Chains A and B, each alone.
Chain A
Amino acid sequence: MRVLVLSSTLFGLGLGLGLAGCANDPLYIPAPMTMEAGTRDMTGMLTEAKASLQLPIKTETASDLMKRTALGAKLGVTVPYVKVGDLEIEVEWTIKNPGTMPGQAKIQLNGANELFSYDPTLIVLNPDDQEAPPTPGLDGDIPINVPAGGTVTGLFTEDQLREASIDLDQVTRGNVNPFRATLTVSKNATSFQPLTMPMPKVMNYMQTPVGPAIPREAFAAMTRIDLVFKPNTHMVLEFNVRVRDLRGIMHDLLLAAVTQKPGELQPFMPVPYTVGATPF
Chain B
Amino acid sequence: MIRFAVAAAVSLGTLAALGSAAAARPAASGWYTEGGLGAVAFLPKASKDANVGPALDIRIGRDLFAWLSVGISLAASSHEAVVPPPPQGEWFQLYRGGGDARIGGRFDRLAAFVEGGAGIAMISSNVLGKVMITDPGERFSIAFHAGAGGEYQLENRHYAVGLAADGFLLPQFAAIRAIDARLFLRYTY
- Chain A residues near B (Cβ < 8 Å): 3, 6-7, 10-11, 14-15, 17-18, 21-22, 25-28, 30, 92-94, 151, 153, 155, 238-240, 242, 252-257, 260
Contact = CB atoms under 8 A, between A and B. Distances in A.
Nearest to A30: B130
Contacts of B58: 10-11, 14
B86 A92 contact: yes
A252 B137 contact: yes
B136 A27 contact: no
Nearest to A24: B124
A28 B125 contact: yes
Main SS of chain A's interface residues?
mixed
B93 A256 contact: no
Interface string B74-113: 1010000000011110100101000000000000000000
A15 B74 contact: yes
B58 to A, nearest CB: 5
A252 B136 CA distance: 7
B15 interface: no
B126 interface: yes
Of A10, A18, A151, the most chain B CB neighbours within 10 A belong to: A18
Interface residues of B, number: 24
A256 B136 contact: yes
B65 interface: no
A253 B137 contact: yes
What 3 pairs across the A-B complex have the smallest Cβ distances? A256-B136, A92-B86, A240-B86
Contacts of B136: 252-257, 260
Contact of B90 (A17, A21, A28, A239): A28
A254 B86 contact: no
A93 B189 CA distance: 54
A11 B86 contact: no
B13 interface: no
Contacts of B127: 26, 28
A93 B86 CA distance: 6
A22 B124 contact: yes
Given A3-B31, A92-B86, A153-B85, 6 more contacts: A14-B76, A21-B124, A28-B87, A28-B125, A153-B86, A238-B86
B60 interface: yes
Contacts of B171: none
Contacts of B60: 7, 10-11
Contacts of B88: 92, 94, 153
Interface in B26-43: 31, 33
